[in-house]
Amino acid sequence: MCGIAGLVDWPTTDLAVAARAMSDRIAHRGPDGDGLYLTEEAPVRAALVHRRLAIIDLSTEANQPFVKDGIALVYNGELYNYKQLRAELESHGVRFRTASDTEVVLEAWRFGGEAWLRRFRGMFALALLEQATGRLVLARDHFGIKPLFVAERGKGLAFASELKALRTVLGDVEVDPTAIAASLLYYWVPESHCAIRGVEKLPAGCWAEKRPGQPLRVHRYFDPVEELGHRDQGIEAEELTAILEDSVSAHLIADVPVSTFLSGGLDSSLVTALARRENEAIDAYTIGFRPEDQKLEAMPDDLAHARIVARQFGVKLHEIEIAPDVVGMLPSMVDALDEPIGDPAAMNTVLICRAAREAGVKVLLSGMGADELFGGYRKHYACLLAARYRKAPRAARAVLEGAVDKLPVAVGSRGLRSVRFAKRFVSFASLAEEPAFRRSYTQYEPAELQDLLQPHLAPHVQTLVDEHARIYNSTGFDDPVNRMCMTDLQLFLVGLNLTYTDRSSMAASTEVRVPYVDIEVARAAFRATGAQKINGRSRKDILKRAAAGILPDQIVNRPKGLFSVPLRAWVRRDLAEMVDDLLPNGVLVNDGYIRRETLEQLIRSDRSGAADRSKEIWHLLTLEEWMRQINRDTPVGALSSDASVDVATRTSNP
């Protein structure tokens, strides 16, 4: 895992200075080394920079930019099948001088070009410069695990792992209005948009080429709908188990220690158990919060379940109980996330990664992706339930919805989780299938968001609604469960979860690997029928059956936990003054993005207990801070050195 950036024919007088400024802005992604490749000679002026987090082949011979026989490469990620590909290339006479996966990437491209991208098993974003022709090639992994931002100016191009690096060479920037509307609707910015106008994200499963004097041309080498759609003929649990075992084993390849996230839920527990089979020394990290915070949020006790798994498999467990100064941490968190992302779970990730890094761990395995691929979210079951609910008489539904609307979401210091779920359900249950699914995980009804936004931004909401409908209705599946899962793969997983995981883990100079977001696991997941994924009230049922002979029943069948934070407690207590100080008279209001009166009504409804708007308020705070940072000349301090967190770490030995 690393950070990459570069400039090709960019309009600047000093290419090296500009490239080093980009590199400095992403230094957190690679503290183990940095390098610069520079050419000022025809046919192209180019600079490639790399920040290294050394994980495979720790020797300096594997440092980047990696230059060999007329090709210069900067590469961020891991190629888990690089040993197999290397052996095949060697059989064709290719000679290697390192033991790195980086050199395999370079030689695979030289040997077979874009056809070999399909054969890569891993996570990657790369840039490759052919010295003789001046052609620049960019590529990104199948599912967008690793990021790559691109901007064109005149006949020049700039790229980087993070948006903040691009901003060092872009000068004055403009905010993209559709992206701001998207951020409010989803609480993240989809891959088809970028918060800065004129910047794009290279799509997942794509490669691109730029020849001197020509614009960037983007090509697709992997289309999830074409490759995975219409294949839901069923899969046996035993076969899925074997595929998962193989994926976890592949994701353990490293020349440094590897640990796991362990929440005590099905997904992370299965990864931990399978990893323990391969590596007896593996340990795990879990996170908890103060009891008073958990009470108001009505959060499940994940620590107890994590301890059960750790004892069962003899895994050393590091328990991190945090009480963060969220007011002090918010600015650096927003800076780390790059775009306005309103999921506070990013704090959990960075704090776990920081604790692991301080203990000498560079790599963590995560259970992320299982819910999207196997139908594990509450929204998936709720949308199936909604299809039955819509068959009830309209009058009966109206009575029920009216009664639910009057219920409070909290009584005193205790949150009412079931009421929050009921209110969310009735907000979408009467809608048709696609809009019901969209509403099940977005923050606002389109009309409600249009009422919050100033009139000139309101039309952008419909653009986003139409985009969601187009993706949902083109998934290549007939059953609603796989339609939801394929939509999540293309929107929710890459747009939110993989994005915040990359930024928050790399802010702590730590690599997070995701064995469920693997090409072979994805193929298996979309062979499963909808009924295998949601069987009655059992979500991820095929995954549970695959884990049944490995994990204890109380882990396999426990209700889904939440990799979240005590958000209501933070918004009502820690952040209350910040909300009052920043939001009603902040940039979002004063620069004409949102309406003050609608914002104030949203805050009042949350504080009265009539509705739970803590998530919306949190995101508005993050968006406000992001807008303020856009206008600053001086970057916010690095999150990895932030000291505004009270952390208690306990370690239990097996």
CATH number at residue 27: 3.60.20.10
Whether residue 178 sits in one domain with residue 33: yes
Q: What is the pLDDT of residues 157-206, one digit of tens each?
A: 999 999 999 999 999 999 999 999 999 999 999 999 999 999 999 999 99
Which residues contact residue 604 at a Cβ distance below 8 angstroms, ignoring those fewer than 6 apart? Answer: none
Q: How far is CA 162 from CA 47, 201, 415, 483, in A?
A: 17, 10, 37, 31
- Judged against a pLDDT cut of 60, whether residue 563 lies above it is answered with no
Task: Classify the phi-psi angles of 198: left when phi > 0, otherwise alpha if psi is within -120 to 50, otherwise beta.
Answer: left
Is 651 part of a structural domain of the chain? yes
649 sits in which H/E element:
strand 645-652
Report d(CA 479, CA 482) in Å as an integer. Answer: 6
Residues in the chain: 654
Whether residue 163 sits in one domain with residue 50: yes
> How confident is the model over 78-86, as a mean pLDDT?
98
What are 359's two structure tokens? Answer: 């203990």
> What is the pLDDT, as a whole number, of residue 141?
98
Is 151 part of a structural domain of the chain? yes
> What is the pLDDT, as a whole number, of residue 633?
60
Q: What is the pLDDT of residues 314-353, one digit of tens each?
A: 999 999 877 668 888 899 999 999 999 999 888 888 888 9
> What is the pLDDT, as a whole number, of residue 488?
98
- What is the rounded end-to-end Cα distance, in angstroms, of the chain? 30
The gap from C-alpha 263 to its chain's centroid, in whole angstroms, comes to: 17
> Long-range contact list for 562-565, CB < 8 A, 24+ apart?
562/299, 562/300, 563/263, 563/345, 563/348, 564/297, 564/299, 564/344, 564/345, 564/348, 565/289, 565/297, 565/344, 565/345, 565/347, 565/348
> How confident is the model over 406-427, as a mean pLDDT?
78
Whether residue 522 sits in one domain with residue 494: yes
Whether residue 248 sits in one domain with residue 123: no
- Judged against a pLDDT cut of 70, whether residue 649 lies above it is answered with no
Is 254 part of a structural domain of the chain? yes
Is 451 part of a structural domain of the chain? no
For residue 471, give the nearest of 492, 455, 444 by alpha carbon: 492
**CATH number, residue 644:** 3.40.50.620
Q: What residues are labeled active site? A: 2
Our count of domains for the chain comes to: 2
- Judged against a pLDDT cut of 70, whether residue 615 lies above it is answered with yes
Is 359 part of a structural domain of the chain? yes
Last residue of a domain, one of 190, 222, 254: 222
Please return the burial class of 207, using the count of CB atoms within 10 Å of its CB with bins 0-12, 13-18 and 19+: buried
Whether residue 620 sits in one domain with residue 503: yes
Whether residue 631 sits in one domain with residue 499: yes
Whether residue 49 sits in one domain with residue 197: yes
Is 261 part of a structural domain of the chain? yes
Whether residue 95 sits in one domain with residue 21: yes
Whether residue 243 sits in one domain with residue 190: no
Residue 196, SS3? strand
Residue 603, SS3? helix
Last residue of a domain, one of 173, 202, 222: 222
Is 433 part of a structural domain of the chain? no
Which residue segment(s) compose the domain that 309 sits in?
Answer: 224-373+490-654
Q: What is the pLDDT of residues 371-397, one digit of tens each?
A: 999 999 999 999 999 999 999 999 999
Whether residue 242 sits in one domain with residue 189: no
How many CA atoms does the CB half-sphere of 314 hold within 13 Å? 5
Last residue of a domain, one of 171, 204, 222: 222
Whether residue 572 sits in one domain with residue 607: yes
User: How high does pLDDT run on average in the chain?
Assistant: 92
> What is the pLDDT, as a whole number, of residue 644?
46
* Model confidence band, residue 641 (pLDDT cutoffs 50, 70, 90): very low
Report d(CA 32, CA 509) in Å as an integer. Answer: 10
Is residue 272 within 8 Å of 284, Cβ to Cβ? Answer: yes
For residue 385, give the nearest of 504, 501, 537 by alpha carbon: 537
Q: How far is CA 185 from CA 291, 302, 579, in A?
A: 31, 29, 20
Is 395 part of a structural domain of the chain? no
- Judged against a pLDDT cut of 50, whether residue 438 lies above it is answered with yes
Whether residue 113 sits in one domain with residue 32: yes
> How confident is the model over 255-279, as a mean pLDDT?
96
- Judged against a pLDDT cut of 50, whether residue 124 lies above it is answered with yes
